[in-house]
Amino acid sequence: MNPDLQKLLQLQEADREIQRLNDEVTALPRKVAAIEAKLADTKAAVDKAKAAIKADEAARRKYETSIQDLRQKISKYRDQSLEVKTNEQYKALLHEIEFAERDIRQIEDKILEGMLDADLNEKQLRAAEAELREETAEIEKEKAETRRTTEQDQKQLAEWNAKRDQLRTGIPADTLRHYDRVLKFRKSALAEARDHKCSVCQVMLRPQTYDDVRKNEQILICDSCQRILYYVPPAEPETEQPRPDASNHAEAPAV
């Protein structure tokens, strides 16, 4: 194989690895941030459940005070009823007692509803606290993992960058310029020629070009996408039965 082509293939591998590692290094803190956001949500849920429990308790104390007040009123009305002179006054007091008793029943219903709410709030609090414990453990694990992976990635990046720099010094400047330009615009600068086509842009190659590319002896580019073409010879069957090699040549060039 043409040594420049060989180096370009290695350069492409280096560039891809560098890209992948850089992407990974950038993505890792985002992953941690996402878990941290989830953790903040769960903390908010714990606080909300706690606040709801407190509010329920305060409401219950208020209801209980109201019931006490009403009971005192009733007992006062009963005392008064023993001293009234007229039937109307007596009836009026009985009425007041009835009203107060009805109010007490209504408040007792509210207390009961509040107790059901409190059960639910307690359940929600316990669930949120369990989730919080789990997520706290998870984020510590994730942070440690991120630190470890980032360190490894940085180390590999340094190695690949050194390799890349070294490869670039060995490639002619104009070839390198072409490679860089196509890589910049098309995200990849090399394309395998396969089945008479450029395997990336899928455009048919001229028969002469395809024949030349198959020799891997010169730097040839795809007329359509400008990528540098290379050819991977089919793996030689070793001990296996040779398979009929019709598939590679069956396709007629599309017009």
Q: List residues binding Zn ion (CB under 5 A).
A: 198, 201, 222, 224-225
Q: Are 111 and 62 in contact (CB under 8 A)?
A: no
Nearer to Zn ion, 5 or 128 (CB): 5
Q: From the CB of 223, what's the least distance to Zn ion, in Å? A: 8
Distance CA 9, CA 32 (A): 35
Residue closer to Zn ion (CB basis): 101 or 223: 223
Least Å from the CB of residue 190 to Zn ion: 10
Burial class (CB in 10 A: 0-12, 13-18, 19+), 168: middle
Q: Which is nearer to Zn ion, 146 or 188 (CB)?
A: 188
Compute the least distance from the CB of residue 24 to Zn ion, in Å: 29
CB of 4 to Zn ion, least distance (A): 19
* Those residues with Cβ within 8 angstroms of residue 81's Cβ, 6 or more apart along the chain or in another chain: 90, 93, 94, 97
Q: How many residues are present in the chain?
A: 255
For Zn ion, the closer CB: 128 or 205: 205
Angstrom distance (rounded) from CA 101 to CA 71: 8
